[in-house]
Chain A
């Protein structure tokens, strides 16, 4: 039973001084599923993913990876367990080339004259180009600066990088937040590709229209508390929308507007 889940947070709370950021949240990520974490601003999504990523340690409750209790003291340790987080800032340097960004911190090297360790830029360029091509992004020249890429392409680059370096769990922090319709579509396709490869994904968003088509299950957060986890078969898009903070407000606004128009 336990090994059905790759990540488990059990009754986790996180306090910052007197502020209760998370209160008794339980989240279970099945192997190879896309799990959507929904919530409005301030619902505690960021705290939750930072806890998963090893930035924060839970104040109470337990965190298990592959059924094994863990306590990460740094993001590096989470990364070593194959838990890769792609934050909104993407950790990309716009002025550096695609290949140099792709391999930043994990540069491939070869020996020059069998002696001097130098960057293997040929391998870096080829690999970066290939991996991006697999994600459906064609970069003719991996030595072009990342600054020339669009937001969606950058998002894909960051995800491709995480997958290339052996992520088993991908945590994506609002990957579609700043993107247009078409680019969001590309990112959703990318998430689907990742699932096909057996990677488990936690997809954070507040956009139900992006979440619903791709997700296998949903967890809703509201004011630091979980409103429950639902399989896609058990819940409709409208129900998800309703449950999200603001869902009812939007509905009443719609009613009001329609009432006025009528």
Chain B
């Protein structure tokens, strides 16, 4: 008893000392948190720590191998960017409390939607690209509509679409191309200036050339930079991440996403259009998957039935590593981007080391488990009830 009194009397003067604004009476039940604790409450922390850890690890094991030379960096950054694009969509959807397991299959399906019409039906490429985006987003809306309408878990509904779309991709490609690969689209991309400018190859060539000219980046013997420019997939990733992060943190729609994921019933009671929010986020994940598919077709020059296989899980892992709760209501786009970066670094980095690359999945599984445990700890702290 006396110990409690003592601690209370000790506490009041210190809290007053820390809050000199005497106009508002200080609440003896509020204490100042250390900056460390404030940092610990941020969702991104785990993924940033993980990224540092991964960089240190590969810095030690593969530091001299060229992994951190410019072409190495572009290499793993590109892998991270592809995943990052779908992780951004998956992140917003997961914060709103839903999953989209059809994202990976949607990548493959979007690929054939882009590739088949110009190759076999005589469409111009730009029309098929628009068709692919429109088609994917319509399918996303259907996914969302079924989820909010039936109130079934999105896990089941989108699992069905994962199989349906994967199967359709195979059916369409074998039917038209008589093969699981629809090839030859590369030239169509190169000959369409607008589509090519948007999705194919690299950009900022002048910057890379200038930097090479100033000897700031590595050059080929010819004097050209080793990397011609910034891959467009990286540009798309950055644009998508900034846009999604902005929407989430700064707009009314962002607040709705948090509310819907935190407590859908509460959201409904305060007048948030829960269904509209969820459906539009399913459209977003479909858009992201389609963007992934189009960029990949433009890069590789073909569409194939197995494109995007298991990407939905990788996206979910990246999002979870990024600190987003599986149950929704809490998370961060920046975190998801770091999660995707970890993926890229590990997937490519492991081949620069002496480690057998078969360990890649073991490593990722371990990362996921650690991230979930860490998030669970954070959540139990953040939502601690008295």
Does the CB pair A104–B267 fall under 8 Å? yes
Does the CB pair A118–B250 fall under 8 Å? yes
Q: A75: CB under 8 A from chain B?
A: yes
B1-9, B342-350, B378-386: which lies at the A interface? B378-386
Q: Which residues of A contact B270 (CB under 8 A)?
A: 91, 104-106
Known: A91-B266, A104-B255, A104-B259. A96 touches B329 (CB 8 A): yes
Q: Which bracket fits the contact residues of B?
A: 20 to 34
Among B250, B330, B384, find the residue whose CB has the most chain A CB atoms closer than 10 A. B250
Q: A151: CB under 8 A from chain B?
A: yes
Shortest B290–chain A CB gap in Å is 25
Does the CB pair A118–B382 fall under 8 Å? no
Interface size for A (C-beta < 8 A) is 32
Does the CB pair B24–A138 fall under 8 Å? yes
A39-47, A142-150, A216-224, A230-238: which lies at the B interface? A142-150
Q: Which residues of chain A from 119 to 161 have any CB-CB distance to chain B below 8 Å in the complex?
A: 119, 121, 138, 140, 145, 147-151
Q: B175: CB under 8 A from chain A?
A: no
Task: Kindly supply a per-residue 1/0 record for chain B positions 21-32, scoring 1 wherever the CB is within 8 Å of any chain A CB and 0 otherwise.
Answer: 000110100100
Q: Which residues of A contact B255 (CB under 8 A)?
A: 100, 103-104, 107, 119
Q: A81: CB under 8 A from chain B?
A: no
Q: A250: CB under 8 A from chain B?
A: no
Q: Which residues of A contact B19 (CB under 8 A)?
A: 140
Q: B179: CB under 8 A from chain A?
A: no
A112 to B270, CA, bound (A): 26
**A93 to B, closest residue via Cβ:** B262
Does the CB pair B263–A119 fall under 8 Å? no
Q: B236: CB under 8 A from chain A?
A: no
Task: Kindly supply a per-residue 1/0 record for chain A positions 155-188, scoring 1 wherever the CB is within 8 Å of any chain B CB and 0 otherwise.
Answer: 0000000000000000000000000000000000
Shortest A67–chain B CB gap in Å is 27
A95 to B382, CA, bound (A): 7
Q: B272: CB under 8 A from chain A?
A: yes
A145 to B385, CA, bound (A): 11
Q: Which residues of A contact B20 (CB under 8 A)?
A: none
A-B contact count, CB below 8 Å? 90
Q: B58: CB under 8 A from chain A?
A: no
Known: A104-B255, A104-B270. A147 touches B383 (CB 8 A): yes
Q: B252: CB under 8 A from chain A?
A: yes
A149 to B263, CA, bound (A): 17
Does the CB pair B329–A117 fall under 8 Å? no
Task: Kindly supply a per-residue 1/0 record for chain B positions 304-346, scoring 1 wherever the CB is within 8 Å of any chain A CB and 0 otherwise.
Answer: 0000000000000000000001000110000000000000000
Q: Which residues of B contact A118 (CB under 8 A)?
A: 250-251
Q: A92: CB under 8 A from chain B?
A: yes
Known: A91-B266, A105-B272. A140 touches B259 (CB 8 A): no
A246 to B265, CA, bound (A): 33
A87 to B25, CA, bound (A): 31
Does the CB pair B251–A150 fall under 8 Å? no
Does the CB pair A117–B252 fall under 8 Å? yes
Does the CB pair A147–B269 fall under 8 Å? no
Known: A95-B330, A138-B24. A151 touches B386 (CB 8 A): yes
**B385 to A, closest residue via Cβ:** A147
Task: Kindly supply a per-residue 1/0 record for chain B positions 344-386, scoring 1 wherever the CB is within 8 Å of any chain A CB and 0 otherwise.
Answer: 0000000000000000000000000000000000010011111
Does the CB pair A96–B252 fall under 8 Å? no
Q: Which residues of B contact A189 (CB under 8 A)?
A: none
Q: A197: CB under 8 A from chain B?
A: no
Q: Can you add 12 more A-B contacts, CB < 8 Å, to A90-B266, A104-B255, A151-B385?
A: A89-B263, A93-B263, A94-B382, A95-B325, A95-B382, A104-B272, A106-B270, A109-B252, A118-B250, A140-B30, A147-B384, A148-B384
- Which residues from chain B sit less than 8 Å from chain A, CB to CB? 19, 24-25, 27, 30, 250-252, 254-256, 258-259, 262-263, 265-267, 269-272, 325, 329-330, 379, 382-386
Q: List 6 A-B contacts (CB under 8 A).
A: A100-B258, A103-B255, A107-B252, A109-B252, A140-B27, A149-B386
Ranked nearest first, the 3 interchain pairs of A and B with the lowest CB-CB distance are: A93-B262, A105-B270, A105-B271
